[in-house]
Amino acid sequence: MPNSTNQFIRPVTCTVNNQGNLEVGGCDLVELAQKYGTPLYVVDEATLRSVCMDYKCAFSSYEKVNMMYASKALCSMATSAVIASEGFGFDVVSAGEIYTVYKAGADMSKVLFNGNNKSVDELLLALELGVGRISVDNFFELSLLNELAKSKNKTVDILLRITPGIECHTHEYIQTGHLDSKFGFDLTQIDEAVEYIQDSNLKLHGLHAHIGSQIFETKVYEDEIDILIRELARLDEKYSLKLDEINIGGGLGVKYTDSDLPPSTYEIADVILKGLNKAIEKYGVDAPTIFLEPGRSIISTAGVTLYTLGSSKQVPNGRKYFAVDGGMADNARPSMYQAQYTAVIANKPEEKASQTVTIAGRFCESGDILIKDISLPEPEEGDVLCVFNTGAYNYSMASNYNRVEKPAMVLVNNSQSDIIVKRESLDDLISHDVIPDRLKTNV
Ligand SMILES: *Cc1c(COP(=O)(O)O)cnc(C)c1O
């Protein structure tokens, strides 16, 4: 089966140019660092579109597929506009994500609102902006949403988020489908939910599950589909309820380091479609529409982060540390999940590695280590470090820890670079601060 973009560490356009520098999207990364400053998030449009194409090709043999991008991996107006232009809808989890994709021009009928504690204001915004599906997570939300739908004299289209009870081998914090999870209805609670929905202002279309993230085994999808289709058949038999949608979530993994071997979108599609056909036959149901909502595998490989190397420290008889001008506030994953990354020095990408160093962040936590024990050619102060595969869950989890401005983001394509998220300024940092009048005399 062909490879797909999520199986590569580097963006598809990544090469070494005539200057001997690394380039992405036809843009010299050292020049980008000079022009826009560092840390800098860089998103390669060609890689992003190539992943979207992989997914579309991989599922092209099945007519009823709704591709959605899970916005939480990276949500900005420009990236949303690119993804929407590929025909994708969006899985969103907050008013902020709903508003961002709306302002980016997304087709709101292709948006699904998901989350385990949506607020009244967020649900109202979803109804007002015409979000296509709401994935209801629990009984509290079921009655809340029904009240809102009644007050607006509307029928609201929903899925039920369920917990299929599947364990997948990934980090505990990013597993979501096992039984003791904070997300979704337990399988034994589905009937009660369905009975509630029967005389409500909610229209149930199908079931939704999501089993985890950074998944490398394909078998879990087959198991998940079997459970979803089994439930569809059971509900039809018990309530004569014809549900024709299943949402199988996201989760496909990416390649952060050489030892990560994620399956391709083609392998995943093969397993999903075979599993689907098998389950359709086994339970005798009509072929449903399937929703997919990958996040990480859509955006991760398209993103790299540029940093400038600063101070260094040799621990006597120990490690050599090099510090960069960013760290856990722009990429929380290493300190949160012990996540590993691959990096090269963008101004000497072809020099032989000569030593092992540890890349430390600049933030006031000992755990703020970006990459432990990486082999690099002689690092020097001022070098530009390019960390690969930072598109997902970096910017979207960024903070202002230590009161540091969040980095800028540029979109590169065909040798052109455009700012898509401005770097925060010092005034941005204090723009929400208020000093009460009674304190002002002291200033
Ligand atoms: C996080 C999440 C996704 C996306 O997961 P990835 O691993 O980024 O593909 C999809 N659906 C739901 C419900 C999620 O919570």
Nearest to 214 by CA among 272, 163, 256, 247: 256
The backbone torsions φ and ψ at residue 320, rounded to the nearest 5 degrees and listed phi first, read: -105, 125
Q: Assess whether the C-beta atom of 253 lies below 6 angstroms from ligand 1.
A: no
Per residue of the chain (443 residues), give pLDDT as tens. 899 999 999 999 999 999 999 999 999 999 999 999 999 999 999 999 999 999 999 999 999 999 999 999 999 999 999 999 999 999 999 999 999 999 999 999 999 999 999 999 999 999 999 999 999 999 999 999 999 999 999 999 999 999 998 866 665 555 666 667 889 999 999 999 999 999 999 999 999 999 999 999 999 999 999 999 999 999 999 999 999 999 999 999 999 999 999 999 999 999 999 999 999 999 999 999 999 999 999 999 999 999 999 999 999 999 999 999 999 999 999 999 899 999 999 999 999 999 999 999 999 999 999 999 999 999 999 999 999 999 999 999 999 999 999 999 999 999 999 999 999 999 999 999 999 999 987 65
The structure tokens listed for 308 are: 């400038």
Q: Assess whether the C-beta atom of 326 lies below 6 angstroms from ligand 1.
A: no
The angle formed by the CA atoms of residues 414, 48 and 343, to the nearest 5 degrees, is: 85
107 alpha-carbon distance from chain centroid: 19
Among candidate residues 27, 75, 168, 364, the one labeled active-site is: 364
Q: pTM value?
A: 0.96
Q: What are the counts of helices (DSSP H) followed by strands (DSSP E) for the chain? A: 13, 21
Atom index in ligand 1 nearest the CA of residue 215 equals: 7
Q: Provide the CB-side half-sphere exposure for 289 (13 A, CA).
A: 13
Nearest to 247 by CA among 208, 216, 196, 294: 208
Are 31 and 40 spatial neighbours (Cβ–Cβ below 8 Å)? no
> Which residues does residue 252 pair with via DSSP β-bridges, in sequence order?
215
394 alpha-carbon distance from chain centroid: 9
Distance CA 98, CA 266 (A): 30
Q: How far is the CA of 94 from the centre of ligand 1 (A)?
A: 14
Q: Assess whether the C-beta atom of 212 lies below 6 angstroms from ligand 1.
A: no
Q: Provide the CB-side half-sphere exposure for 416 (13 A, CA).
A: 6
Q: Assess whether the C-beta atom of 208 lies below 6 angstroms from ligand 1.
A: no
Whole-Å CA distances, 397 to 115, 142, 187, 248, 393: 17, 29, 31, 24, 6
> Which residues does residue 208 pair with via DSSP β-bridges, in sequence order?
161, 247
Is 364 a known active-site residue? yes
